[in-house]
């Protein structure tokens, strides 16, 4: 652990805690140029972050002391960076161009990746061109995608961001075990023209299998037994289990593909069917371009590194335990939910890689809503609440290519400006007087109209939301998350925190089947279960 570098970062942050962001532009004339950069079709502006120049340079030294560059090389070289599970983490291999030569723990994997890509492309084309049909010979008109977590959030984000207004094939997603979710997805569909894609790495995920059984029952009630397997596709690392379930065809991915990093794989087969291969290839290309930037750019001009350092400076230097993400594009409305899993499941850890306590804050709480919706909800808190919540604004210059979106992105620019600039009580008082308010009223209202300002934000801009820019954006956040994990010295690629609840849920279901709480249950859980059983 780079103790000296951490100590220096904390000392600089304490010294500069009250420094005004707005004042730094005058004190550091090249601040905007130094903290703005372009990468893979994205423009980033981190000049409104809280660090002074010395804070920024100290954060860079922390990244060097943590050996970000060495750990980055280990990731791309296919070493066992997921030490607790003994696995490589090679999602970059899934989007690498033809001719790449990735290895996972020494095993060549790029040829296998190319084979699965070819299978996805051919199958999607067959469905889209009505060559592949259902049990009764009719072409597929809808796909029901069943998954949860990374098997749902990533493909759902892709589809929301890139879907045409009138898609030729309707894609619907089911994740929640609540039967209402499946009922809504199936409503209005014809079993004869519906394809079900079941996505589960192990094909043992309780929620996914329960939903898959419900879909199977719905199809079986309307289709002949012969040929029904044509309506079921499995995407899994356990093809034998998928076949036993009744999937007529499976698409594979390997254990070096983590769930929340799997949208580059066959996990997104539904999107390939709905969008076509060309769009998905563009998505892969955008991410590969960001990979190259991450590998080649120096740390001081490296987009994922700077994004990570800004967060660490806020979280650990200035003790700000939350961050909001506001995408100013309707197509990116699922981005905050996607980032919640990507970041909080990856870096919500309490021990370092060696098992010792982290001793500091790791991942902040991540939340958000699309702009301008969030402005009429939680933005009140981030502007005038006592705690400082850093913000990220993801801005698309043109969302439909035909009309001006300036009212949309003007709001994003104004929010970042307002967070940084604020409004003093004297300014609020003067504005009230200028508007005609009596002095006594102005004295009362001015404190309520005061904004402390000096609140940091980052802006990420793109010209259009295309497959390429979407791929680059997601890869940016993936590598940002990785860099943070390296600096915090944690394993960003396991998720043991989701396991205990699953184990206990199975025990509770045993009690449900027995019709009474087990004596082993704690009093509160037993009482709640007893009430639900009545």
Structure tokens at 504: 């206990």
Helix (H, G, I), strand (E, B) or coil at 529: helix
CATH number of 226's domain: 3.40.50.10490
For residues 259 and 147, the answer to whether their CB atoms sit within 8 Å is no
Contact 368, 391 (CB under 8 A): no
On whether both 173 and 236 belong to a single domain, the answer is yes
Q: Has residue 401 got a pLDDT over 70?
A: no
CA torsion, points 513, 515, 518, 522, in degrees to nearest 10? 110
Q: Are residues 202 and 327 in the same domain?
A: no
Within this chain, do residues 518 and 388 fall inside the same structural domain, yes or no?
no
What one-character-per-residue DSSP string does 514-528 give? HTS--TTS-HHHHHH
At 197, give phi and psi (nearest 5°): -110, 115
Return the pLDDT at 173: 98
How far, rounded to the nearest angstrom, does the alpha carbon of residue 519 sit from its chain's CA centroid? Answer: 41
Catalytic positions, please? 345, 376, 502
Q: For helices 467-488 and 303-312, what crossing angle results, to 10°? A: 50
Q: What is the pLDDT of residue 1?
A: 60
pLDDT of residue 402 exceeding 60, the answer is no
My answer on whether 123 and 158 are in the same domain is yes
Q: Decide the pairing of beta strands 457-464 and 391-398.
A: parallel
Is residue 313 a part of any domain in this protein? Answer: yes
**pLDDT grade for 502, boundaries at 50, 70 and 90:** confident
pLDDT for 166 equals 94
Asked if 371 contacts 415 with a C-beta cutoff of 8 angstroms, the reply is yes
Give the residue-averaged pLDDT of 506-524.
93
In a domain, 267, yes or no: no
Residue 435 maps to a domain = no
For 226-249, what is the mean pLDDT?
94
Q: Report residue 194: phi and psi, to 5°.
A: -110, 130
Element (H, E) at 432: helix 425-434
The count of domains in the chain is 3
User: Which H helix or E strand runs over 94?
Assistant: helix 91-95
If asked whether residues 198 and 327 sit together in one domain, one would say: no
Per-residue pLDDT averaged across 470-476, rounded?
A: 98
Token digits for 441? 């009223």
Residue 492 has pLDDT above 90, yes or no: yes
Q: What are the phi and psi torsion angles at 16 (to 5°)?
A: -100, 10
Instruction: Tell me how far CA of residue 241 lies from CA of 209, 210, 247, in angstroms.
Output: 11, 14, 9
| Same domain membership, residue 141 and residue 158 | yes
Same domain, 129 and 245: yes
Residue 462 vs residues 42, 129, 360, 466: alpha-carbon distances, Å: 5, 33, 34, 9
Burial class (CB in 10 A: 0-12, 13-18, 19+), 4: exposed
357 and 462 housed in the same domain: yes
Q: Is residue 99 part of a domain?
A: no
Residue 364: which of 418, 312, 287, 327 has the closest Cα?
312
Specify whether 526 is located in the same domain as 490: no
pLDDT in tens, 49-62: 999 999 999 999 99
Using a pLDDT cut of 90, give the percent of the chain over it.
93
pLDDT value at position 42? Answer: 98
d(CA 241, CA 263): 21
The answer to whether position 440 is within a domain reads no
Residue 20 DSSP label: -
| Token output for 146 | 């069943």
Task: State the average pLDDT over residues 325-343.
Answer: 97
Mean pLDDT rounded to a whole number for the chain: 95
Is residue 84 in some structural domain?
no
Start-to-end CA distance of the chain, whole Å, equals: 54
pTM value > 0.85: yes
**Residue 403 neighbours by CB distance under 10 Å:** 8
116 falls in which pLDDT band (50, 70, 90)? Answer: very high
Q: Tell whether the model's pLDDT for residue 74 goes beyond 90.
A: yes
Residues 466 and 526 reside in one and the same domain: no
In a domain, 445, yes or no: no
Cα–Cα separations (whole angstroms), residue 192 to 114, 245, 263, 292: 32, 19, 28, 45
**What backbone phi and psi angles, to 5 degrees, belong to 393?**
-110, 120
Give the residue numbers spanning the domain of 18.
3-78+283-421+455-494
Asked if 117 and 103 count as a contact pair (C-beta separation under 8 A), the reply is no
Q: What distance in Å separates the CA atoms of residue 196 and residue 143, rounded to the nearest whole number?
A: 6
pLDDT at 405 over 90: no
**DSSP states of 267-335 as a string?**
GGHHHHHHH-HHHHHHHHHHHHHHHHHHHHS-GGG-HHHHHHHHHHIIIIIS---EEEEEEESGGGTTH
Predicted pLDDT at 2: 81
- In order of 50, 152, 162, the CA distances from 25 in angstroms are 12, 43, 38
**In this structure, is the dihedral angle defined by the CA atoms of residues 12, 15, 17 and 19, taken in order, positive or negative?**
negative
């Amino acid at each position: 652990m780079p103790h000296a570098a951490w100590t220096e970062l904390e000392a600089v942050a304490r010294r500069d805690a009250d420094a005004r962001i707005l004042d730094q532009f005058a004190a550091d004339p090249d601040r905007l140029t130094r903290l703005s950069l372009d990468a893979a079709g994205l423009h980033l502006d981190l000049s409104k972050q809280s660090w002074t120049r010395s804070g920024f340079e100290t954060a860079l030294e922390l990244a060097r002391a943590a050996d970000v560059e060495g750990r980055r090389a280990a990731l791309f070289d296919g070493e066992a960076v997921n030490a607790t599970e003994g696995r490589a983490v090679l999602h970059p291999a899934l989007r690498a161009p033809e001719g790449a030569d990735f290895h996972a723990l020494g095993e060549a994997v790029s040829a296998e990746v190319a084979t699965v890509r070819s299978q996805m492309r051919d199958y999607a084309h067959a469905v889209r061109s009505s060559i592949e049909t259902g049990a009764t010979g009719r072409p597929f008109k809808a796909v029901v995608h069943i998954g949860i977590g990374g098997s749902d959030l990533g493909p759902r984000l892709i589809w929301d961001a890139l879907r045409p207004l009138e898609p030729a094939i309707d894609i619907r997603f089911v994740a929640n075990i609540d039967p209402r979710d499946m009922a809504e997805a199936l409503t209005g569909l014809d079993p004869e023209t519906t394809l079900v894609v079941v996505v589960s790495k192990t094909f043992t995920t309780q929620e996914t299998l329960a939903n898959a059984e419900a879909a199977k029952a719905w199809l079986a009630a309307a289709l002949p037994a012969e040929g029904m397997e044509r309506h079921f596709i499995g995407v899994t690392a356990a093809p034998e289990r998928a076949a036993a379930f009744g999937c007529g065809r499976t698409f594979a991915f390997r254990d070096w593909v983590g769930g929340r990093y799997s949208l580059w794989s066959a996990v997104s087969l539904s999107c390939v069917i709905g969008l076509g291969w060309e769009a998905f290839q563009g998505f892969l290309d955008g991410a590969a371009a960001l990979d190259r930037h991450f590998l080649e750019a120096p740390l001081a001009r490296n987009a994922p590194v700077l994004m990570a350092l800004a967060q660490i400076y806020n979280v650990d230097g200035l003790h700000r335990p939350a961050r909001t993400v506001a995408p100013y594009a309707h197509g990116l409305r699922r981005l905050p939910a996607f980032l919640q899993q990507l970041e909080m499941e990856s870096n919500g850890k309490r021990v370092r890689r060696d098992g010792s306590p982290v001793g500091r804050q790791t991942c902040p709480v991540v939340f958000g809503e699309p702009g301008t919706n969030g402005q009429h909800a939680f933005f009140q808190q981030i502007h005038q609440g006592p705690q400082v919540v850093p913000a990220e604004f993801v801005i698309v210059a043109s969302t439909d290519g035909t009309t001006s979106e300036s009212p949309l992105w003007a709001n994003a620019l104004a929010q970042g400006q307002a967070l940084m600039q604020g409004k003093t009580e004297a300014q609020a008082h003067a504005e009230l007087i200028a508007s005609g308010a009596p002095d006594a009223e102005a004295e009362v209202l001015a404190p309520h109209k005061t904004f402390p300002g000096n609140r940091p934000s980052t802006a990420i801009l793109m010209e259009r939301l295309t497959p390429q820019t979407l791929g680059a954006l997601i890869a940016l956040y993936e590598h940002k998350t990785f860099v943070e994990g390296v600096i915090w010295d944690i394993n960003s690629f396991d998720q043991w925190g989701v396991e205990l609840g699953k184990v206990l849920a199975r025990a509770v279901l045993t009690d449900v089947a027995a019709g009474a709480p087990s004596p082993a249950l704690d009093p509160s859980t037993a009482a709640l279960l007893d009430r639900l059983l009545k």
